[in-house]
A and B are shown apart, each in its own frame.
Chain A
């Protein structure tokens, strides 16, 4: 049942050329659980495991696939808060429940083995362990289907959140800084994507002009797009539309990083069904083809990434993706980079030169019309900022825009190609989708 853990699936080098499976793999199903702020510790139909099963069922229903047809399951089995999750991401030492919730599996962690057992999937032959996050899982699935390792593959990304302060436990509660943290934590860097980007963001503002609060139009628009996303946290919890005034008056976290530059941790799960383009054509939905996937893992030179490195890395990631997809910036219709901390999206926007935006132009671009009904529908998903820290809105929006099923978020411009990611500038991956296989 387990797949090859050492399967070489990544496209993480420069100059790999056009992806050999371009247009031969497709996404045929999408499923989202409800998005809750936290699991309440009581409702067994709302656990991370229950929500992952629900997301899988929805993705399978969306595609019209039955359990016996699933032969691949790729599930991320780590806490999104990492080693600092503390009580918000680990159930123990609280007492467990009757099976299948008699351990962390299903409560705060989900993996392929647990899902296969609970969902009674009889024909799974590819279920790798130790899989990375959604940024790379979608690439792994696309490559596995293209290579014939499996043909009908579920990709599941659970994001758990329990009661308690997020990232206020584990190593962040320690008096000692061990391992790589000996170089960062003594001075106050608790680790995370916020720190990766806030210093280069400051350098960006000084180099190109502008100020931190020039992010306001972007953040406000992310919340607007989130409210147009029926399954997202904001839309399902009556979160009022954020205003520029709200934004510029919000408290600081890592000054100048504001509260509204941060995404809201949630308890949710999402699933996608990858299959061959050929099979997808017989399934329930219009196929959305995979035109390329790429990954990157750039090493910083020293303690803190600087603007030069971030710009170099995003330039290189863009070149890899465009080369493998056989497309250029002008041919990308939908662009959903990661926004899990607002002062990061500008690096991707400019690196990928979407809608002609060059280095230093992002703030002016944000001040223009980036609404979904406008000419530059940037981040039409609403991302994490508009939907909660699901890290999946970017992928779902790409798929829905190409299907033409994005509802109130459906863009008015051409929607035939879509580029999405959950990635930091230093590590992660991108995936390019197409309405057509070539």
Chain B
């Protein structure tokens, strides 16, 4: 799948560095005891920047909703159509969600509500992205 290649910036570099080491590391606000993804300059709840640290989390979640992209707008993904696009919530904090194409799950066969686990996929030499697969 020729997925678009993420371009890390100063804020996101720690996240992508961890992904490239096959680890899922999210921002954590010590003041609120909440996880935050995507990363932001400050905690979305208490607005504290100083309270934010990076925390490795267990890559387990559930499929909350799913669609199949049949006529998308991304040139690079055209050859993949139709493909799944699922919304996955993180078990450690269900307010955190991720997109996933659910590798290994055929389009239209997504078991909404099923458990998933994180995996990593290379989209360019040296650049991984986080993906999720259904737990058998």
On A, residues with C-beta under 8 Å from B are: 84, 167-168, 172-190, 198-200, 202-203, 206, 251-257, 299, 301-304, 306
* B6→A199 contact, CB < 8 A: no
Whether B129 pairs with A186 at a CB distance below 8 angstroms is yes
Contacts A188-B69, A254-B70, A303-B38; is A206 near B8 (CB within 8 Å)? no
CB closest residue in chain B, given A165: B73
A375 to chain B, nearest CB (A): 34
Question: A186–B108 contact, CB under 8 A?
Answer: no
| B67 sits at the interface (CB 8 A) | yes
A176–B37 CB distance below 8 A: no
B14 contacts partner chain A, Cβ-Cβ < 8 Å = no
Task: Name the one of A177, A203, A254, A299 contacting B72, with C-beta atoms under 8 angstroms.
Answer: A254
Complex alpha-carbon distance, A188 and B83, angstroms: 9
Bound state CA distance, A177 and B124, in angstroms? 12
B112 to chain A, nearest CB (A): 7
- A interface, over-half SS: mixed
A188-B99, A301-B44, A302-B95 known; A172-B66 Cβ under 8 A: no
With A187-B99, A302-B37, A304-B97 as given contacts, are A251 and B6 in contact (CB-CB < 8 Å)?
Answer: no
Minimal Cβ-Cβ distance residue in B for A307 = B65
Bound CA–CA A68/B38 (angstroms): 51
CB within 8 Å for A177 and B7 given contacts A302-B96, A304-B87: yes
- Whether the Cβ atoms of B65 and A303 lie closer than 8 Å is no
Contact partners of A198 in chain B: CB under 8 A: 67
B74 surroundings in chain A (CB, below 8 A): 172, 185, 188, 190
Cross-chain contact A176 with B99 (CB below 8 angstroms): no
Q: Is the CB of A186 within 8 A of B123?
A: yes
B69 contacts A254, C-beta separation under 8 Å: yes
Is there contact, CB below 8 Å, between B70 and A187?
no
How far is A306 from B8 in the complex, measured between Cα atoms in Å? Answer: 26
30 contacts between A and B (CB under 8 A): A84-B73, A167-B73, A172-B75, A174-B4, A176-B4, A176-B5, A176-B7, A177-B4, A177-B6, A182-B6, A182-B38, A186-B6, A187-B3, A187-B101, A188-B99, A188-B101, A199-B64, A202-B112, A252-B70, A252-B71, A254-B69, A255-B108, A257-B67, A299-B44, A301-B44, A302-B37, A302-B97, A303-B98, A306-B65, A306-B97
**How far is the CB of A406 from the nearest CB of chain B, in Å?**
35
In the complex, what distance in Å separates the CA atom of A256 from the CA atom of B66?
9
Contacts of B9 in A (CB 8 A): 178-179, 182
Whether A182 lies near B97 (C-beta < 8 A) is no
Cβ–Cβ contact A253 & B71, under 8 A:
yes
Q: Is B59 an interface residue (CB 8 A)?
A: no
- Do the beta carbons of A306 and B64 come within 8 Å of each other? yes
* B73 touching A190, Cβ below 8 Å: yes
| B73 CB → nearest A CB, Å | 4
| Contact call B99/A182, Cβ cutoff below 8 A | no
Task: List residues of B whose CB falls within 8 A of some A CB.
Answer: 3-9, 12, 37-38, 44, 64-77, 80, 82-83, 85, 87, 95-101, 108, 112, 123, 129
User: Which of A187, A206, A252 has the most chain B CB atoms inside 10 A of its CB?
Assistant: A187
How far is B66's CA from A186's CA once the two chains are assembled, in angstroms? Answer: 16
Q: Is B4 within 8 A of A175, CB to CB?
A: yes
- Given known A-B contacts A84-B73, A253-B70, A303-B99, A186 and B37 have beta carbons under 8 A apart: no
A165 to chain B, nearest CB (A): 8
Which residue of B is nearest A182, CB measured? B6
The residues of B that contact A180 with a CB separation of less than 8 Å are 38
CB pair B67–A203 under 8 Å, yes or no, is: no
User: Contacting A255 at CB < 8 Å: which of B7, B67, B77?
Assistant: B67
B75 engages A173 (CB within 8 Å): yes
Within the assembled complex, what's the spacing in Å between the Cα atoms of A189 and B87? 11
Distance of A181 Cα from B95 Cα, bound (Å): 20
Closest B residue to A254 by CB, please name it.
Answer: B67
Query: Are A255 and B70 touching (Cβ within 8 A)?
Result: yes
- Cβ distance B9 to chain A, nearest Cβ, rounded Å: 7
Contact among B7, B67, B87, B99 for A178, CB-based, below 8 A: B7
Determine the chain A residues whose CB is within 8 A of the CB of B99 once the complex forms.
Answer: 183-184, 186-189, 303-304
Best-buried of B4, B100, B108 by chain A (most CB within 10 Å)? B4
In the complex, which residues of chain A have a beta carbon less than 8 angstroms from the beta carbon of B129?
186
Q: State the CA gap A189–B108 with chains docked (Å).
A: 17
- B108 (CB) vs chain A CBs: closest residue: A255
Instruction: Return chain B residues, CB-CB under 8 Å to A176.
Output: 4-7
- Are A188's CB and B72's CB within 8 A? yes
Bound-state Cα–Cα, A257 to B69, Å: 9
Contacts of A188 in B (CB 8 A): 69, 72, 74, 77, 80, 83, 85, 99, 101
In the assembled complex, the Cα of A303 lies from the Cα of B69 at a distance in Å of 18
A199 and B73 contacting across the interface, CB-CB below 8 Å: no
Q: Select from chain B the residue with minimum beta-carbon distance to A185.
A: B4
Please measure, in the bound complex, the distance between the C-alpha atom of A172 and the C-alpha atom of B69, giving whole angstroms. Answer: 15
In this complex, the member of A173, A299, A301, A306 whose beta carbon has the largest number of chain B beta carbons within 10 angstroms is: A301
A186 touches B44 (CB 8 A): no
Asked if residues A182 and B70 are in contact (CB atoms below 8 Å), the reply is: no
Which of the residues B6, B66, B75 comes within 8 Å of A202, measured between beta carbons? Answer: B66
Chain A residues within 8 Å of B65, by CB: 199-200, 202-203, 306
Top 9 nearest A-B pairs (CB, nearest first) are A187-B99, A182-B6, A190-B73, A255-B68, A177-B4, A202-B65, A183-B38, A199-B65, A185-B4
